[in-house]
């Protein structure tokens, strides 16, 4: 497979499957772990390097069997999601072990698919088409039989294949996977039509190799003394929507920890640069209130610091966001003003030779710590595939990444 597919695989699937280091039951009551990896029969679980999180000791075969049996009996939890099994056993896998498990399954699927007549040219497919086929196989198994789809891809009729790639039940996270797969095959058609590099992914929007290549080095100056931290509380959900008007969206220019997005400040390090035409409307991505506001003063624009700056908090004070590179901010915006998801915040402003974009950063507040979060790929999808929807995002309050709740995605109201 193309390197771009290999390197994107985990980020592509994480919102759909989650990533759990312990054993749990999936909705069909199969013992599972990692990123939707079924570990049945029991011998499959025995082959993995489990350890006891309480002692740090490597788990014995008997301990693995006991944990597997205990999880297998808890069918009462199978419809509640994998997180419901977090405290059922103390056995865990390391991140490295989970990665090994994920890629072992991925490479096994790839080998199987390449042996099928319709997919024998797989290695020469555009990266988007490769990712789409592997995604289908991950969801259904690599032996699926879709005759029309198979005929279309064998003839490189990618747009036709996009009409035949959906599988059932077409609801919840499977619907999201189907939507993504359709876009991937349509992307493949576009790659070949325009003569783009087939080794690079177009999904979900082509991003800059590095922000410096586009003159986008964000060196933001903002005072966070007014940003106070609160006590740890329970997990919570926040409804998220696009922030840049999709009609003016151009491309992603980089997310957290890319290019000029470096620490120590979360509002720089976890920035998401959402490209847009100058003058494109910017909207609030979530409900909240303004904690700090610096109006746009064109005379003070310099370097990567330009446009108005708006810090916001969700009403529960456990997450927040930062918007900049905007102007025409409405008069009602000020410290403590209430802002609803979808409210107009201003328009994208350009400066110098920097490609116009909104800089949006998000943070979770856990105890007295500000923990930046990476939802860059979610926002690229909200700007493209899911512009008509909002997605609840669950913040766990335990240091783990927030998880989009795709099964509860709703049309914008």
What angle do helix axes 3-17 and 376-383 make, rounded to 10 degrees? 90
CATH of 211-411, one of 2.40.160.20, 2.70.70.10, 1.20.840.10, 3.40.1350.10: 2.70.70.10
- For the stretch 146-194, pLDDT in tens is 999 999 999 999 999 999 999 998 877 788 899 899 989 999 998 998 8
Task: Please state which of the ranges 195-199, 255-259, 402-406 shows the lowest mean pLDDT.
Answer: 402-406
pLDDT of residue 176: 86
Does residue 229 have a pLDDT over 70? no
CA-CA distance, 325 to 307, in Å (whole number)?
4
Q: Are 403 and 18 in contact (CB under 8 A)?
A: yes
Closest to 205 (Cα-Cα) out of 164, 139, 250: 250
Domain segments of the chain: what residues? 1-105, 115-203, 211-411
What angle (nearest 5°) sits at the alpha carbon of residue 205, between those of residues 200 and 208?
Answer: 65
Q: What is the mean pLDDT of the chain?
A: 88
- Give me the sign of the Cα torsion angle 201, 133, 179, 319: negative
Burial class (CB in 10 A: 0-12, 13-18, 19+), 171: exposed
Q: 400: pLDDT confidence band, cut at 50, 70 and 90?
A: confident
If you average pLDDT over residues 255-263, what whole number do you get? 88
Q: What's the pLDDT tens digit per position in 12-25?
A: 888 787 789 999 99
Question: 409 is written with which tokens?
Answer: 């995605």
Tell me if the pTM is above 0.75.
Answer: no
pLDDT tens profile 44-91:
999 999 999 999 999 999 999 999 999 999 999 888 778 889 999 999
Q: What is the pLDDT of residue 194?
A: 86
| Omega cis (within 30) before 264 | yes
Instruction: Identify how many contiguous H helices and E strands the chain contains and give both numbers.
Output: 10, 19
For residue 331, is pLDDT > 90?
Answer: yes
Q: Where are the alpha helices (DSSP H) in 155-201?
A: 158-162, 172-194
Query: Binning pLDDT at 50, 70 and 90, where does residue 210 land?
Result: very low
pLDDT at residue 407 greater than cutoff 90: no
Is residue 231 pLDDT above 60, yes or no?
no
**Alpha-carbon span 111 to 172, nearest angstrom:** 29
């Amino acid at each position: 497979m193309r390197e771009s597919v290999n390197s994107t695989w985990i980020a592509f699937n994480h919102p759909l499957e989650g990533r759990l280091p312990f054993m749990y039951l999936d909705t069909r009551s199969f013992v599972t772990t990692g990123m939707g990896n079924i570990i049945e029969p029991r011998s499959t679980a025995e082959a993995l390097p489990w350890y006891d999180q309480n002692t740090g000791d490597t788990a014995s075969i008997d301990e693995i069997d006991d944990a597997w049996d205990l999880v297998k009996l808890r069918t009462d939890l199978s419809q509640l999601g994998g997180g419901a099994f977090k405290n059922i056993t103390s056995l865990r896998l390391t991140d490295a072990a989970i990665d090994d498990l994920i890629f072992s399954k991925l490479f096994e699927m790839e080998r199987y698919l390449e042996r099928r007549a319709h997919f024998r040219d797989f290695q020469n497919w555009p990266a988007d088409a490769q990712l789409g086929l592997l995604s289908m196989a991950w969801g259904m198994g690599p032996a699926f039989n879709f005759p029309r789809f198979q005929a279309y891809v064998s003839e490189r009729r990618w747009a036709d294949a996009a009409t035949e790639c959906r599988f059932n039940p077409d609801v919840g996270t499977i619907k999201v996977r189907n939507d993504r797969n359709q876009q991937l095959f349509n992307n493949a058609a576009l790659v070949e039509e325009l003569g783009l590099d087939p080794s690079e992914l177009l999904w979900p929007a082509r991003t800059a190799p590095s922000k410096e290549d586009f003159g986008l080095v964000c060196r933001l100056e903002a005072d966070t003394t007014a940003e106070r931290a609160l006590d740890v509380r329970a997990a919570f959900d926040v409804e998220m929507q696009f922030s840049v008007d999709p009609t003016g969206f151009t491309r992603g220019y980089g997310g957290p920890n890319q290019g000029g997005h470096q620490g120590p400040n979360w509002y720089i390090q976890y920035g998401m640069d959402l490209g847009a035409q100058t003058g494109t409307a910017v909207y609030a991505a979530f409900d909240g209130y303004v904690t700090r506001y610096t109006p746009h003063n064109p005379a003070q624009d310099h370097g990567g610091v330009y446009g108005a700056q708006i810090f916001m908090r969700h009403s529960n004070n456990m997450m927040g966001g930062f918007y900049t590179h905007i102007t025409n901010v409405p008069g009602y915006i000020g410290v403590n003003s209430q802002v609803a998801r979808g409210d107009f915040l201003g328009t994208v402003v350009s400066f110098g030779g920097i490609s116009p974009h909104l800089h949006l950063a998000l943070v979770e507040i856990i105890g007295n710590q500000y923990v930046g979060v990476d939802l860059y790929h979610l926002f690229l999808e909200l700007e493209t595939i899911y512009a008509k929807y909002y997605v609840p995002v669950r913040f766990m309050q335990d240091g783990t990444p927030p998880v989009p709740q795709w099964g509860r995605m709703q049309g914008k109201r």
